[in-house]
Amino acid sequence: MSAPTNGHRFTPDELASETIAIALSPDTSEPTTLESPYEEQDERAATRRRPLRADRGNDDVRHLEQEVRRARGLVALQDDQALQQALSSRERAADRKVTEKLRALERGEKLKAGKNVARLAQRNRSDEEWAGRARRSRERLLNPNRRLAAVYRRYVALRLGPAFVLFAGVVWNSDRVHDGLVGPDGTALAYLVEPLASVLLIVSLFAQATAVEHGQKVRRSFVLFDVGFLIASLLLMVVPWGLRFGWSAGDLLANTIPSVLIAGAVVGWHVLNRLFSDVFADLHDELSPTRLDEVTTDVVVLYERSKREIAAGRIPVNDIGRPSTEAIRKAFGIGKGRAQLTGDAFDAVSRSLPPTTS
């Protein structure tokens, strides 16, 4: 039985006629309300089946629309130059390796360049040092004063050797002479015997050195004087010892060798004096002026001009033939100092040379 509609209950014949009318009526957009419960059940079943088919069609449409949009995007972007210029990850890694190698090579070149600069700077400093030494050596060789000082320092240093041997020999001989004269337990005054004999020899040697330093030749008498003292020192060493302790070969050598060394020191001293005396003489000659300086040349010229003016009668002279300083100054228009030097030249000539007789 169907539910009443507006208080009206359909009969079986009305239901049948209503169903036929609905079936024959055209389809409209609005849903038609079915009064039949059977048709209502059929409608609900059809409604449950329609969304499945509609969803399947809508999915296909959406999928197709996405493909169309994707294709249009590809068409718009596939001709862009950035797509062709973009590097892949493999290419970027390869470029990075190349860049690292180039930076490593640049660092190596910088290191080599730095080493070359440091080496060049060190070489320049070394060259400057050697050039400075060469300049100083050249100045020392060309400057007579510095050359004289260098030679004198060398002479003093070489002279210390013979002096040391001489003093050591005197100390040794004084002990041996003491034992030979008074014995090991004798008076201490015997130690002064050998120094008393050697002090004259030392005085002679230093006198010769002083003469050489001042450019003087050493006389032969000094050599004979030194030889005589050496012989006396040798006899003083050997004879008292031999008389007291005997003439054994060992004692004879012990007493003779120091005296021989002293004699060698004296000979070396004379050789040094003879050698350096000639050197000092040459250096002293170099230090002495060999050319007229400007002042002397000026005085000589003024002296000669004054003589000519005197001969011409333009400069008056006194009784001894000397012009006055004021007359020389006025005649040549020079200063008082130059005129005074010219007058001194007239005085020096008049003192050195006898007056000429006319």
Contact 211, 218 (CB under 8 A): yes
The DSSP secondary-structure symbol of 317 reads B
Check the CA dihedral 253-259-263-266 and report its sign.
positive
Tokens of 21: 């009318």
Among 150, 132, 88, 144, smallest CA distance to 288 is for: 144
Tokens of 239: 């004879």
Which residue's entry shows tokens 């050249």? 138
Give the global pTM.
0.40
pLDDT, tens digit only, all 358 positions of the chain: 444 444 445 454 554 454 444 444 444 444 444 444 445 555 555 555 555 455 666 888 888 888 888 888 887 777 777 777 888 889 889 999 999 999 999 999 999 999 999 999 999 999 899 888 888 877 777 777 777 788 888 888 888 888 888 888 888 888 888 888 888 888 888 888 878 777 777 788 778 777 776 767 777 787 788 788 778 878 887 888 888 887 788 777 877 888 788 778 877 887 887 788 777 777 766 666 556 678 888 888 889 888 888 888 888 888 777 888 888 888 888 888 888 888 888 888 888 776 655 4
263-272 in b/e form (b: 16+ CB < 10 A) is bebbebbbeb
Residues 139, 137: Cα–Cα separation, whole Å:
5
Residues 177, 237: Cα–Cα separation, whole Å:
6
- Helices 144-182, 220-245: inter-axial angle, 10-degree rounding: 30
- Collapsing DSSP states into helix, strand and coil, what is residue 157? helix
* Residue 79: half-sphere exposure toward Cβ, Cα within 13 Å: 3
pLDDT value, residue 44: 57
